[in-house]
Chain A
Protein backbone atom coordinates (compact mmCIF):
# COMPACT_ATOMS: atom_id res chain seq x y z
CA UNK A 1 0.00 0.00 0.00
CA UNK A 2 2.60 2.49 1.14
CA UNK A 3 4.89 1.38 -1.66
CA UNK A 4 2.38 2.38 -4.30
CA UNK A 5 1.88 5.79 -2.73
CA UNK A 6 5.61 6.21 -2.55
CA UNK A 7 6.30 5.12 -6.10
CA UNK A 8 4.14 8.07 -7.06
CA UNK A 9 7.09 10.09 -5.78
CA UNK A 10 10.10 8.22 -7.14
CA UNK A 11 12.25 11.30 -6.87
CA UNK A 12 11.21 13.80 -4.28
CA UNK A 13 12.41 16.68 -2.12
CA UNK A 14 15.96 15.89 -3.13
CA UNK A 15 16.11 14.54 -6.67
CA UNK A 16 19.12 13.41 -8.63
CA UNK A 17 18.96 12.09 -12.17
CA UNK A 18 16.49 12.58 -15.04
CA UNK A 19 13.45 11.22 -13.15
CA UNK A 20 10.30 12.90 -11.96
CA UNK A 21 7.03 11.86 -10.41
CA UNK A 22 3.80 13.24 -9.11
CA UNK A 23 0.81 12.40 -6.98
CA UNK A 24 -2.62 14.03 -7.13
CA UNK A 25 -5.34 13.74 -4.52
CA UNK A 26 -8.28 15.02 -6.59
CA UNK A 27 -10.88 14.38 -3.90
CA UNK A 28 -9.24 16.74 -1.43
CA UNK A 29 -10.54 20.26 -1.06
CA UNK A 30 -8.61 21.97 -2.50
CA UNK A 31 -7.05 19.17 -4.59
CA UNK A 32 -3.54 18.26 -3.47
CA UNK A 33 -0.89 17.87 -6.15
CA UNK A 34 2.70 16.95 -5.31
CA UNK A 35 5.36 17.11 -8.02
CA UNK A 36 8.69 15.68 -6.98
CA UNK A 37 10.87 18.11 -8.89
CA UNK A 38 9.04 21.12 -7.46
CA UNK A 39 9.54 20.25 -3.81
CA UNK A 40 11.98 22.27 -1.74
CA UNK A 41 14.77 20.41 0.03
CA UNK A 42 13.62 19.38 3.48
CA UNK A 43 9.97 20.09 2.68
CA UNK A 44 7.54 17.84 4.51
CA UNK A 45 4.62 16.66 2.38
CA UNK A 46 1.45 16.27 4.43
CA UNK A 47 -0.83 13.68 2.86
CA UNK A 48 -4.34 12.65 3.95
CA UNK A 49 -4.80 9.60 6.16
CA UNK A 50 -6.97 8.02 3.50
CA UNK A 51 -7.64 8.83 -0.09
CA UNK A 52 -7.29 8.01 -3.73
CA UNK A 53 -4.05 9.15 -5.31
CA UNK A 54 -3.35 9.38 -9.04
CA UNK A 55 0.37 8.78 -9.42
CA UNK A 56 2.85 9.11 -12.26
CA UNK A 57 6.54 8.30 -12.60
CA UNK A 58 8.82 8.87 -15.58
CA UNK A 59 12.43 9.01 -16.68
CA UNK A 60 13.57 11.46 -19.37
CA UNK A 61 15.96 9.44 -21.55
CA UNK A 62 17.61 11.05 -24.60
CA UNK A 63 17.30 9.50 -27.05
CA UNK A 64 14.24 7.49 -25.94
CA UNK A 65 14.94 3.75 -25.91
CA UNK A 66 13.94 1.92 -29.09
CA UNK A 67 14.96 -1.51 -27.90
CA UNK A 68 14.03 -3.31 -24.74
CA UNK A 69 16.40 -2.63 -21.86
CA UNK A 70 16.50 -3.77 -18.26
CA UNK A 71 15.36 -1.50 -15.45
CA UNK A 72 15.00 -1.98 -11.73
CA UNK A 73 14.45 0.00 -8.59
CA UNK A 74 13.21 0.09 -5.07
CA UNK A 75 11.51 2.19 -2.46
CA UNK A 76 12.79 2.23 1.11
CA UNK A 77 11.64 3.79 4.35
CA UNK A 78 14.18 5.17 6.79
CA UNK A 79 13.85 3.75 10.29
CA UNK A 80 15.89 4.31 13.47
CA UNK A 81 19.41 3.03 14.05
CA UNK A 82 20.55 0.24 13.94
CA UNK A 83 18.12 -0.95 11.22
CA UNK A 84 18.61 2.04 8.90
CA UNK A 85 16.18 1.34 6.06
CA UNK A 86 13.36 -1.05 5.27
CA UNK A 87 12.47 -1.92 1.68
CA UNK A 88 8.76 -1.47 1.05
CA UNK A 89 8.68 -1.87 -2.73
CA UNK A 90 10.81 -3.07 -5.61
CA UNK A 91 10.58 -3.49 -9.37
CA UNK A 92 12.62 -5.26 -12.03
CA UNK A 93 11.54 -5.39 -15.65
CA UNK A 94 12.58 -5.29 -19.29
CA UNK A 95 11.03 -3.05 -21.94
CA UNK A 96 11.04 0.28 -23.75
CA UNK A 97 8.69 2.10 -21.40
CA UNK A 98 9.99 5.28 -19.77
CA UNK A 99 7.06 5.99 -17.51
CA UNK A 100 4.16 4.56 -15.59
CA UNK A 101 1.00 5.83 -13.98
CA UNK A 102 -2.04 4.64 -12.11
CA UNK A 103 -4.37 5.28 -9.21
CA UNK A 104 -4.30 3.81 -5.77
CA UNK A 105 -6.75 3.91 -2.91
CA UNK A 106 -5.29 3.67 0.58
CA UNK A 107 -6.30 4.06 4.22
CA UNK A 108 -3.96 4.43 7.16
CA UNK A 109 -5.07 4.09 10.82
CA UNK A 110 -5.33 7.36 12.74
CA UNK A 111 -2.65 6.09 15.14
CA UNK A 112 -0.10 6.85 12.42
CA UNK A 113 -1.15 10.47 11.94
CA UNK A 114 1.54 13.02 12.62
CA UNK A 115 4.44 10.61 12.14
CA UNK A 116 7.17 11.91 9.84
CA UNK A 117 8.58 9.22 7.59
CA UNK A 118 11.43 9.72 5.14
CA UNK A 119 11.15 7.66 1.99
CA UNK A 120 13.91 6.94 -0.54
CA UNK A 121 13.32 5.95 -4.14
CA UNK A 122 16.02 4.60 -6.46
CA UNK A 123 15.92 3.56 -10.12
CA UNK A 124 18.54 1.77 -12.22
CA UNK A 125 18.69 1.73 -16.03
CA UNK A 126 20.29 -1.11 -17.95
CA UNK A 127 20.40 -3.64 -15.16
CA UNK A 128 18.11 -5.89 -13.22
CA UNK A 129 20.53 -5.79 -10.32
CA UNK A 130 20.15 -3.00 -7.81
CA UNK A 131 23.84 -2.45 -7.34
CA UNK A 132 26.16 0.49 -7.79
CA UNK A 133 24.99 4.07 -8.20
CA UNK A 134 21.35 4.38 -9.30
CA UNK A 135 20.41 6.32 -12.43
CA UNK A 136 17.90 8.28 -10.40
CA UNK A 137 17.37 8.69 -6.71
CA UNK A 138 15.37 10.92 -4.47
CA UNK A 139 13.89 11.21 -1.04
CA UNK A 140 10.92 12.89 0.54
CA UNK A 141 9.61 13.26 4.07
CA UNK A 142 5.94 12.39 4.36
CA UNK A 143 3.61 13.19 7.23
CA UNK A 144 0.10 11.86 7.64
CA UNK A 145 -2.43 14.60 8.38
CA UNK A 146 -4.08 14.88 11.78
CA UNK A 147 -3.20 14.85 15.46
CA UNK A 148 -2.06 11.59 16.95
CA UNK A 149 -3.84 10.57 20.20
CA UNK A 150 -0.84 8.41 21.08
CA UNK A 151 1.17 11.59 21.61
CA UNK A 152 -0.95 12.67 24.57
CA UNK A 153 -0.96 9.19 26.15
CA UNK A 154 2.79 8.79 25.70
CA UNK A 155 3.32 12.29 27.08
CA UNK A 156 1.42 11.39 30.25
CA UNK A 157 3.35 8.13 30.60
CA UNK A 158 6.60 10.09 30.15
CA UNK A 159 5.72 12.34 33.09
CA UNK A 160 4.80 9.32 35.24
CA UNK A 161 8.04 7.56 34.33
CA UNK A 162 10.10 10.64 35.18
CA UNK A 163 8.28 10.80 38.54
CA UNK A 164 9.08 7.12 39.10
CA UNK A 165 12.72 7.75 38.27
CA UNK A 166 12.81 10.66 40.70
CA UNK A 167 11.48 8.48 43.51
CA UNK A 168 13.91 5.68 42.68
CA UNK A 169 17.05 7.81 42.70
CA UNK A 170 16.41 8.96 46.28
CA UNK A 171 18.43 7.18 48.95
CA UNK A 172 16.74 4.09 50.35
CA UNK A 173 17.10 2.81 53.87
CA UNK A 174 15.55 3.49 57.27
CA UNK A 175 15.13 7.17 56.59
CA UNK A 176 13.91 6.69 53.05
CA UNK A 177 10.39 6.22 51.79
CA UNK A 178 8.82 9.09 53.70
CA UNK A 179 7.91 7.01 56.74
CA UNK A 180 9.80 5.71 59.71
CA UNK A 181 7.21 3.14 60.67
Chain B
Protein backbone atom coordinates (compact mmCIF):
# COMPACT_ATOMS: atom_id res chain seq x y z
CA UNK B 1 0.00 0.00 0.00
CA UNK B 2 1.43 3.34 -1.05
CA UNK B 3 2.00 5.70 1.83
CA UNK B 4 0.05 8.91 1.49
CA UNK B 5 1.81 12.19 2.01
CA UNK B 6 1.34 15.90 1.44
CA UNK B 7 3.41 18.23 -0.71
CA UNK B 8 6.84 18.16 0.99
CA UNK B 9 8.60 20.63 -1.30
CA UNK B 10 5.80 23.20 -1.10
CA UNK B 11 5.55 22.67 2.64
CA UNK B 12 9.31 23.16 3.03
CA UNK B 13 9.17 26.44 1.09
CA UNK B 14 6.25 27.76 3.12
CA UNK B 15 7.86 26.52 6.34
CA UNK B 16 11.08 28.32 5.50
CA UNK B 17 9.18 31.52 4.70
CA UNK B 18 7.15 31.22 7.92
CA UNK B 19 10.35 30.94 9.95
CA UNK B 20 12.04 33.77 8.05
CA UNK B 21 9.13 36.20 8.38
CA UNK B 22 8.65 35.11 12.00
CA UNK B 23 12.27 35.94 12.76
CA UNK B 24 11.94 39.33 11.02
CA UNK B 25 8.81 40.03 13.06
CA UNK B 26 10.61 39.24 16.32
CA UNK B 27 13.57 41.39 15.24
CA UNK B 28 11.43 44.33 14.19
CA UNK B 29 9.54 44.39 17.47
CA UNK B 30 12.78 44.11 19.42
CA UNK B 31 11.83 40.77 20.98
CA UNK B 32 15.17 39.24 20.04
CA UNK B 33 18.49 41.00 19.36
CA UNK B 34 20.13 40.88 15.96
CA UNK B 35 22.75 38.34 17.08
CA UNK B 36 20.13 35.89 18.38
CA UNK B 37 20.53 32.33 17.02
CA UNK B 38 16.77 32.33 16.39
CA UNK B 39 17.39 34.54 13.35
CA UNK B 40 19.19 31.64 11.69
CA UNK B 41 17.41 28.75 13.34
CA UNK B 42 13.76 29.70 12.82
CA UNK B 43 13.79 29.47 8.98
CA UNK B 44 15.71 26.17 9.09
CA UNK B 45 13.40 24.83 11.80
CA UNK B 46 10.35 25.88 9.79
CA UNK B 47 11.71 24.19 6.69
CA UNK B 48 12.55 20.91 8.43
CA UNK B 49 9.34 20.82 10.48
CA UNK B 50 7.03 21.52 7.55
CA UNK B 51 8.88 19.05 5.31
CA UNK B 52 8.68 16.38 8.00
CA UNK B 53 5.00 16.97 8.64
CA UNK B 54 4.25 16.83 4.91
CA UNK B 55 6.05 13.49 4.62
CA UNK B 56 4.32 12.14 7.70
CA UNK B 57 0.96 13.77 6.85
CA UNK B 58 -0.61 13.30 10.28
CA UNK B 59 -3.53 15.57 9.39
CA UNK B 60 -4.70 13.28 6.58
CA UNK B 61 -6.55 14.48 3.50
CA UNK B 62 -9.16 17.13 2.96
CA UNK B 63 -12.71 15.88 3.32
CA UNK B 64 -14.26 15.54 -0.10
CA UNK B 65 -17.52 17.49 -0.37
CA UNK B 66 -20.53 15.55 -1.71
CA UNK B 67 -20.69 15.42 -5.49
CA UNK B 68 -23.28 17.44 -7.41
CA UNK B 69 -25.46 14.42 -8.16
CA UNK B 70 -25.38 13.36 -4.52
CA UNK B 71 -26.35 16.88 -3.50
CA UNK B 72 -29.33 16.86 -5.89
CA UNK B 73 -30.53 13.52 -4.51
CA UNK B 74 -30.22 14.83 -1.00
CA UNK B 75 -32.19 17.96 -1.93
CA UNK B 76 -35.05 15.91 -3.45
Contact = CB atoms under 8 A, between A and B. Distances in A.
A115 B34 contact: yes
A153 to B, nearest CB: 9
Interface in A126-181: 141, 143, 148, 150-151, 154-155, 157-158, 161-162, 164-166, 168-173, 175-181
Interface residues of B, number: 40
Interface in B26-55: 27-30, 32-37, 39-40, 46, 50, 53-54
B72 to A, nearest CB: 15
A143 B31 CA distance: 11
Contact of B61 (A143, A173, A181): A173
Given A164-B14, A175-B64, 5 more contacts: A79-B35, A117-B33, A157-B17, A157-B21, A161-B21
17 contacts: A79-B34, A80-B40, A150-B28, A154-B25, A157-B21, A158-B18, A158-B22, A161-B17, A161-B21, A162-B14, A168-B14, A170-B62, A171-B6, A171-B60, A171-B62, A175-B62, A176-B61
